[in-house]
Structure 1
Amino acid sequence: MDQGNTAFILIAAALVLLMTPGLAFFYGGLVKAKSVISMMMMSFGAMGLMGVLWVLYGYAIAFPTTAEGTTQFPWAIDFSNLSLAGVLETPEGAAYPPLAFVAFQATFAIITVALVSGAIADRAKFGAWMIFAAIWATVVYFPVASWVFNFGLADDASFAYGGWITHGMQDVFGVGAIDFAGGTAVHINAGAAALALALVLGKRVGFQKGAHVPHNPPFVLLGAGLLWFGWFGFNAGSELAADGTAALAFVNTIAAPAAALLAWLIVEKVKDGKPTSVGAASGAVAGLVAITPACASLTPFWAIVLGLVAGAVCALAIELKFKLGFDDSLDVVGIHLVGGLIGTLYLGFFANGTGLIYSGSINQLLVQAIAAFAVLAYSFVLAFVIGFAIEKTIGFRVKNEDEIAGIDTVVHGEEGYVLSDVRG
């Protein structure tokens, strides 16, 4: 067992876990002051719920042990790994303990679910959100993680083979889809679910451009900084070894979001006349989203180009909700769905060795598109069905009067900012 790589994976897992509190600050700063507790609690609720479900059965669905070379589609479960029973021991000759990988992937499940919540800010019941999160993770995230990340990690029986997106399509097209750290499984997946929930819950009261402004831009900047810091574990850690590929992913995780930040600010300056702090934070996150699937497959130059494209396109894409009439409160669709699509499809052109400009073959682009739109459709349809069922039974949305007043006190009995210790 390589203790250095084991330490690297565990540290990366801790960094990725930090991303969810970072997301809570990022989202919390974007909502109105009377909804900040509700918004942040949806992220922390995801931490608690997914941490438990991953141990009980999430890992068993995402990483069922199969014969090498076989594929898992669309859904499977390894009953020997329920409650992690099958991975408690480290096989002889393993590069690292299976539990290190379990921990690392658990943090991916947590952040993916938390991302979805940004689309329903200011108007969702916490209990309904938790029910949705549990069902969606079970039938969407866990199997999609298997499609993408279940690609054969080591030469021992504790790790599975057969993710059809990254492994199975290789048998048909000669190349598998590239998704190093989760452009499809995390960002397209969460963005599609976010769009579905935004349609199910409908628009906020008074929804129109300029009606809902961030109440705390410093929170947004703090959250973006924590996300960027944790993202080094997200991307470089996905190599599962402290080597040259991890170093490339690390550098690209600096270059792409930096370029996207600048591109977003330029678009803001041209379009609105002023670059904003929220724009800087959003641009950085858009670049981080786009580089996630591509961080180990691009030269740093092409990572910068990707960042410029993602920052500019996502800055324009967030306006779609006003033109198309859906209320994606915190731009999960405009940043994560659009950014994830850009990063995933970009690899079809510029992936080292197999992209169109290097190989002259369209196959890499084709498999990238199949992967992206298969995950998008699967997640959107099931998220819409789950959300619609919850809305029509126990109700997903709070009353309009509670939304107007601010849902922190109604849902959680707390206020984000107590300016006096005297209660009336």
Structure 2
Amino acid sequence: MTDNFRFKALVRSGAAGLAASFALLATAGSAFAQEEAPTLNSGDTAWMLTATALVLLMTIPGLALFYGGMVRKKNVVAMTAQNFAIAALMSVIWMVIGYSLAFQDGGSMNAYIGGLDRLFLSGMGVDEISGTIPESVFMTFQMTFAIITPALITGAFADRMKFSSMLVFMALWLVFIYAPICHWVWGGGFLSEDGVLDFAGGTVVHINAGVAGLVACLVLGPRKGFGTENMAPHNVVLTMVGASLLWVGWFGFNAGSELAADGRAGMAMAVTQIATAAAALSWMFIEWIVHRKPTLLGLATGAVAGLVAITPASGFVDPSGALWIGLAAGIICFIASTSVKKAIGYDDALDVFGVHAIGGIVGAVLTGVFASAAITGADAPLGGLEGNWAQVGIQIKGIVATIVYCGLGTFVLLMVTKLFFGLRVTPQEEVEGLDISQHGEVIQ
């Protein structure tokens, strides 16, 4: 009896201990699951609220002033009105359908386009979290990218497109061109799966906008008097102020794309400053050598070229890589915007293709060269200088996919817009100026 009692007690004791162990494991597992669940970080959220405002500042008033100063005086109201109207129109379209197509799961078509789960931002409440920030903040941050990308295109066809047709074309372009390419790269599409590195928009924003701008200026044809009349900027100081606002806002663009207030965001800010300064200087010195004088317009344009080129690389490269990217961008974009443009003869009024497409290509390719695992914390080498030269080929694949889809798609959308609404103002309206003919306003 005594031995039997002791045996039963031992069994009960062992069972209790085992149950306690399972309970402890369950508690630990529950705690671990809670730690892994998305949680709001107030510091990250505060930074992303700031970054979102900075990126919006890039378009209004930054890009509006940058472009507005470069056109002739009779078209400055029209140019700034286009940018302001785009900011409003793209915001609504992004809310209705753009965000959902770009960032939701597209099911069987996810490699190419997102789904409609967030149509009209359905289901996005105050408690929805994306990473460590509210999804509403992430959505609005991405909205500012969807605003500036089509706004960049307007510089290519400056002085000659109907305002009404511009609105129709841009609305179509956001849905059918921008949203799919954004999904390919940032929304889990095939370029993301292939390993294309684009931290803040080399393909999604700049190559995309630059190629669309080239197609648009070719379809519309050159401005009346192009090559024979003086079409110099009416106010270079406005352009400099606009470029300065772009430079400041770009910290939100690049450092904000980390979506957190951390060391990588800090490095993205540092390399943005370095590359921009280097490009401004390299453009200035090559212009000084070729044309005998350094111009304020050249300095401002070179700075923008550097901003463009460092965009895809900003979260992947160290300061040395940024310096080389900036120097290369200033020289290559200068040649593309002057010698190449003159040789081919296309009328890209404000050098959207030469600065944004070419600068984006330079930055995307050199991202594959200079990307560093030390910056990202990756386990394997990222760029060519670390031994992973295959990354350059992957970057080129992303560039080619963007150029082909954007080029063909933009052409189709322009033809559809032309068929139903027309594209170009009349010769008389163009000579009079778009400020009067399209808006009934002039600056004094």
How high is the TM-score relative to the length of structure 1? Answer: 0.90
Instruction: Find the counterpart in structure 1 of residue 363 from structure 2.
Output: 343
Instruction: Find the counterpart in structure 2 of residue 76 from structure 1.
Output: 114
1:92, 1:5 → 2: CA distance? 12
The answer to whether the 8 A contact 1:43-1:114 is kept is yes
Instruction: Find the counterpart in structure 1 of residue 101 from structure 2.
Output: 61
Instruction: Find the counterpart in structure 2 of residue 334 from structure 1.
Output: 354
- Residue 405 of structure 1 and its aligned partner are, at CA, apart by 1.8
Flag the structure with larger Rg: 2
Letter matched to residue 102 of structure 1: M
Instruction: Identify which of 215, 237, 240 aligns with 1:218.
Output: 237
Instruction: Identify which of 230, 235, 256 aligns with 2:275.
Output: 256
The answer to whether the 8 A contact 1:178-1:368 is kept is yes
- 1:241-272 CA-partner distances (Å, limit 9, x unpaired): 00010000000110001000000001110110
Distance 1:195 1:95, change over 3 A: same
Instruction: Find the counterpart in structure 2 of residue 414 from structure 1.
Output: 441
2:109, 2:318 → 1: CA distance? 30
- 1:21-50 CA-partner distances (Å, limit 9, x unpaired): 200000000000000011111111110100
Instruction: Find the counterpart in structure 1 of residue 223 from structure 2.
Output: 204
Instruction: Find the counterpart in structure 2 of residue 394 from structure 1.
Output: 421
Instruction: Find the counterpart in structure 1 of residue 139 from structure 2.
Output: 102
Establish whether residue 284 from structure 1 lines up as the match of residue 317 from structure 2. Answer: no
- Residue 163 of structure 1 and its aligned partner are, at CA, apart by 2.6
Instruction: Find the counterpart in structure 2 of residue 159 from structure 1.
Output: none
- Residue 66 of structure 1 and its aligned partner are, at CA, apart by 6.0
Establish whether residue 44 from structure 1 lines up as the match of residue 80 from structure 2. Answer: no
The answer to whether the 8 A contact 2:106-2:114 is kept is no
The answer to whether the 8 A contact 2:156-2:347 is kept is yes
Instruction: Find the counterpart in structure 2 of residue 31 from structure 1.
Output: 71
Instruction: Find the counterpart in structure 2 of residue 6 from structure 1.
Output: 45
Aligned pairs (5 A) from 1:235-384:
235-319=254-338, 320-352=340-372, 353-359=381-387, 361-384=388-411
1:133, 1:387 → 2: CA distance? 10
Establish whether residue 178 from structure 1 lines up as the match of residue 197 from structure 2. Answer: yes
User: Which stretch of structure 1 is more off in the superposition, 32-41 or 205-214?
Assistant: 205-214
SS in 1 for 2:199: coil
- Residue 93 of structure 1 and its aligned partner are, at CA, apart by 9.5
User: Which stretch of structure 1 is more off in the superposition, 315-324 or 198-207?
Assistant: 315-324
Unaligned runs of 5+ in 2: 1-39, 373-380
Distance 1:92 1:262, change over 3 A: closer
2:121, 2:393 → 1: CA distance? 36
1:73, 1:242 → 2: CA distance? 30
1:25, 1:149 → 2: CA distance? 29
2:355, 2:228 → 1: CA distance? 17
Instruction: Find the counterpart in structure 2 of residue 172 from structure 1.
Output: none
The answer to whether the 8 A contact 2:196-2:394 is kept is yes
Distance 1:94 1:220, change over 3 A: closer
Letter matched to residue 358 of structure 1: E
1:321, 1:91 → 2: CA distance? 48
1:342, 1:124 → 2: CA distance? 29
Instruction: Find the counterpart in structure 1 of residue 168 from structure 2.
Output: 131
1:127, 1:403 → 2: CA distance? 15
Letter matched to residue 369 of structure 2: F
Distance 1:73 1:210, change over 3 A: farther
1:191, 1:37 → 2: CA distance? 23
Instruction: Find the counterpart in structure 2 of residue 165 from structure 1.
Output: 191
1:327, 1:310 → 2: CA distance? 21
2:226, 2:129 → 1: CA distance? 59
1:17, 1:377 → 2: CA distance? 28
The answer to whether the 8 A contact 1:90-1:96 is kept is no
SS in 2 for 1:145: helix
Letter matched to residue 382 of structure 2: T
- Residue 349 of structure 1 and its aligned partner are, at CA, apart by 1.5
- Residue 91 of structure 1 and its aligned partner are, at CA, apart by 4.2
- Residue 348 of structure 1 and its aligned partner are, at CA, apart by 1.8
Distance 1:105 1:354, change over 3 A: same
The answer to whether the 8 A contact 1:9-1:237 is kept is yes
Distance 1:195 1:282, change over 3 A: same
Instruction: Identify which of 195, 210, 218 aligns with 2:214.
Output: 195
SS in 2 for 1:194: helix
Instruction: Find the counterpart in structure 2 of residue 19 from structure 1.
Output: 58
